[in-house]
Amino acid sequence: MRTFDSTIDEIYTGQFDCGELSNNIMKIRTEKIIEVSDWDDLVEKVYKKPYSFQQQDGCKERQLVRLTVPQEFDDSDLPETVPEIVNHPEMCVKFSSWLERNSNQPLDGDKDCGKKDWGIRMWWERNFYPDIQMIANDLYAKGLLDAGEYYINIDW
């Protein structure tokens, strides 16, 4: 392999042979990127539950979240449920609990929005959701997601 000895100034001013750079400077790889809205739509379609990955963990900033499928993950330390109050600091539940709960069930602990559709949906999105790895592993097991490395692009 040939090394490239030009300085940064030479590179920026174009005083070098571009052929020398072809394999030495930039390495390119292809990544599988899933837009967060597409991920949410898939989860909602498959499981028939309200879901918003961006709203989890106190609402995620713009970012790329890496996801390996399949990847071993044990959710036995997660709670079966969390307080039925929108934006309560306790969040994230066992995958089995999430699957079992009726998504139209009113919230017992939230008098302000616990019986309104938007309030119930917000609680599911912000408080009552499983770890993304459990969903990804299940989608893989169902044949709906190929094995590999993915990035979820959170942007709005």
User: What value does the mean pLDDT take over residues 113-132?
Assistant: 92
| Residue 15's pLDDT band (cuts 50, 70, 90) | low
| Start-to-end Cα distance in the chain | 43
pLDDT (tens digit per residue) in 70-83:
999 999 999 999 99
Unique residue bearing structure tokens 């919230």: 107
User: What value does the mean pLDDT take over residues 45-57?
Assistant: 98
Cα–Cα distance, 126 to 64 (Å, whole number): 19
Cβ-Cβ contacts under 8 Å for 128 (sequence gap 6 or more):
81, 82, 91, 93, 98, 101
Let me know: does 47 contact 102? Beta carbons within 8 Å.
no
pLDDT (tens digit per residue) in 125-156:
999 999 999 999 999 999 999 999 999 999 98
| Residue 24's pLDDT band (cuts 50, 70, 90) | low
pLDDT for res 61 = 97
User: What value does the mean pLDDT take over residues 9-38?
Assistant: 70
Cα–Cα distance, 124 to 107 (Å, whole number): 10
pLDDT for res 19 = 56
Question: Does position 6 have pLDDT exceeding 70, yes or no?
Answer: no
